[in-house]
Chains A and B, each alone.
Chain A
Amino acid sequence: MNSCPGPKCYAPETSCAMGNMELAKCPRWKGVVPEESPPDTEVQHVSLPWTGNALGLADLNFVTGRAKPLIIGIAGQESAGKTTLLAAWYLLLGRTRLTDDAWHFGGSFSLEGWEAVATAMRWSPGQAPGFPPHTSSRGARAPGLLHLAFRHCERQLRDFLFADAPGEWFKRWAIDEHAEDAEGARWVSQHADVLLLVADRQALAGPKMGSARSAFQLLATRVGAQRRGRPVALVWTKADVEVAPEMKDRIRQAVMSIMPDAAEFSVSVLADDTSAVGIGFQELFQWILARRRSAIELPSAAASGADPLFVYGRR
C-alpha cells in the first residue's frame, strides 16, 4: 500500500497531514516511500502540503493554520464571467496593478490554479487571447478555492480564498435551496464572508434577456435570504455591453430591495483608455480587501467591581 490510510491525508502526493517532514517517521504511514527515477533511489524527498492547483476542502488545513481566511463567494449564472473576473485579477496582480501601494502581494498556494484560469487571456505565439473555458461542475461538494495572501503595510499576512464555482450550481440552488446537485452552491453560501452577485449584461441585453432577468431575480432573492448580514456586492460584468434602462432598474431593484446596503460595481476587460487595467477590476478588489469579518460582540455586563475577572461571575 503506497498511500496513507489516514483520513484527509494525501501522502505521498502531498506532505503528511500529521506534519511529519519525513514520511517514514509518521506512525500512520505503512507504505514504502516511492522513488520514480532510478538514479535517485538513495535520495529522500520532502513533499509539499500544497499542489499549486485550486484548493479543495482537504487542502484547507494548511492555509487556515495562520488564521481563518476571508472567503469570497462569486454567485452568478453560467458564462456570466465569474472565472474571467478571477483571471482578470490575476493578470493585473501579475503586473502589480491590482491593489494600491499599501497592499503587497504575499504569495499564493494555488499559483498553478491561477495560471490555469488566466492562461486563456494571455497572448501566446500565433494565438489571440480568449476567455477562460467553462468551469465544469464535476459534482463536487465544494468549489475549487484560489488562494492569495496580501500584507497590508508591514503587518501580518492576510489570506483570501476565492471560490471558483460553476454557474449550474447557482441555477439549481436559486430554484431549490436543497437541490442535490447544488451542494457546492450551498457551501459557498454558508462559508463565504463576502458575496459577489454577478449580473451578466450580455445575457440581460441578449435574445434571452427575459429568462436571464428572471434567473437573476431568483438568485438575488436566494442570496438575500441567506446572507446573514454579510457584505454583498452587485457586480455588472461585461460593462461594455449596453443594457436597457428598465432592465437595469429591475436588476438593481431585485438586489437593493432586499439588500439595500449592497455595493455596486461594473467590470469589463475592454476599456476605452490606454490604462491597460480594464474597467472596475481594481475598485472591486480594493473593496474586497477592505472587508472584515463581523467581530464577535461580547455581551455587556453590569458589574460593580472593577476587576474584569469577576465581571461575569457577579449576579
Chain B
Amino acid sequence: MSAIQQSILVIGESNVGKTHYGAQLLKRLIVGECKLRMNGAASNLKPFEKAMECLADGIATEHTPATTYVESVWPMVDTEGRSGTLIWPDYGGEQVLKMIAERRVPDTWRSRVGSATDWIFLIRLHTLRSADDMFSRPVSVLGQVQSQASPQQFSDQGRLIELLQMLLYVAGLDRDEPRRSPSLTVLLTCWDELGVQGSPKDILAEQLPMFSAFVHSTWREPAVFGLSALEKPLSQKKPDQEYASRGPEEFGFIVHPDGSRTEDITWPIHRLLTNNDMD
C-alpha cells in the first residue's frame, strides 16, 4: 500500500479547541480502536503531554502559550493498511489573531501554509456572534435615528474570510477556479455546547452565511463536520469522575454531513488520507 505524507495545517483562533482535539486524536491513535491508529511512535509527544495528562484526570488543559508553535509527526495506518504520516501542529491561537490584526504573515507561517496538503479550519460557533441589522431587526420609528460614526467592528464572518484570503495569498494560490487542493475541512468545534441537531453544513450556512458562501465558492468540495473533542465541558480545576474512570478516549464525537454521529474522531483525518490515496 502506498505511504502518504499528509501535512495538515490546523487553522484556528484562540480558544477553539486545537490542543484538546490534538490530544484526543493522539490518544485515539495510540489506543488504536478507530479507523486510524499509530504506526510506530510519534516523533514528539511533548506538545500534547500536558493536555493528555489533564484529560486523563478529567480536567481541561490550560491555554497554549501565544508564542508556541510545535509540530509533531505521527506515522499512521488505517484498518486497510493504508499508511501515512500526519504532521500535526500545536500553537497559541493568538498567532492567528495577530496576523489578522497586523495584516501581515510571518515567513514561518508562509512556508507552513504553502506546504500543507490539507487545511483544517476550526471554528467555535458558540463564541461568534452575528449582530442584528436594520433588516433583520427593523427600527420601529425611522427618522429619529441619526447618522453617526459608531466604533467600527469587523464582523466575525468578515474576519474569518479575510484570514482565509490572507492565507491563500501568501501560499500563492489563486481563486480563479474553485480549488481542489489544498483541501479544506471546516470543523465546527465544541458541538456539544451548540445544542443543535442537523447537518453541520446547514448550521454553518445559517450562522455564518457569508463565510459559508465564500468557502463553497472558493473550494470545489469543502467538507464541514461537527466536532466535540471532549463531549462535555470540563473544568480546569474540578476533575470529572467519569473521565477519570472511563478514560478520555471514551468521549468525543464527530457529526457527519447528514447529522449522524460517530465516536471515531479520527474520521476527518482518515477521510483526507483515503481521498488523497484515490487521486
Contact = CB atoms under 8 A, between A and B. Distances in A.
12 contacts: A43-B108, A45-B102, A51-B103, A91-B135, A96-B209, A97-B135, A115-B153, A115-B154, A119-B153, A123-B137, A130-B146, A270-B138
Interface stretch (A101-109, A172-180, A216-224): A101-109
B261 interface: no
Interface string B48-59: 000000000000
In terms of DSSP, what is the predominant structure of the interface of chain A?
loop
Nearest to A92: B135
A118 interface: yes
Contacts of A134: 147
Contacts of A157: 175-176
B194 interface: no
A88 B148 CA distance: 16
A64 interface: no
A94 B157 contact: yes
B91 to A, nearest CB: 14
Interface in A266-280: 269-271, 276-278
Contacts of A104: 213, 216-217
Contacts, number: 155
Contacts of B104: 45-48
Interface residues of B, number: 52
A194 to B, nearest CB: 22
Interface string A42-72: 0111111101100000000000001000000
Contacts of A270: 138, 142
B177 A123 contact: no
Nearest to A119: B152
B135 A269 contact: yes
Contacts of B158: 94, 111-112, 114-115
B116 interface: no
Interface stretch (B5-13, B37-45, B159-167): B159-167
B133 interface: yes
Given A104-B213, A133-B149, A123 B175 contact: no
A210 B139 CA distance: 30
Nearest to B177: A156
A41 interface: no
Contacts of A277: 135
Given A104-B217, A151-B178, A118 B148 contact: no
A94 B169 contact: no
Given A116-B152, A120-B148, 5 more contacts: A48-B170, A94-B210, A104-B213, A109-B165, A276-B136
Interface string A143-170: 0000001110010110000000000000
A128 B139 CA distance: 7
A39 interface: yes
B275 interface: no
A124 B149 CA distance: 12
Given A106-B214, A111-B158, A129 B133 contact: yes
A175 to B, nearest CB: 26
Nearest to B170: A46
B161 A111 contact: yes
B175 A107 contact: yes
B146 to A, nearest CB: 6
Given A48-B103, A270-B138, A121 B176 contact: no
B31 interface: no
A58 to B, nearest CB: 17
B147 A132 contact: yes
B132 interface: yes
Nearest to B162: A111
B170 A112 contact: no
B106 A44 contact: yes
A131 interface: yes
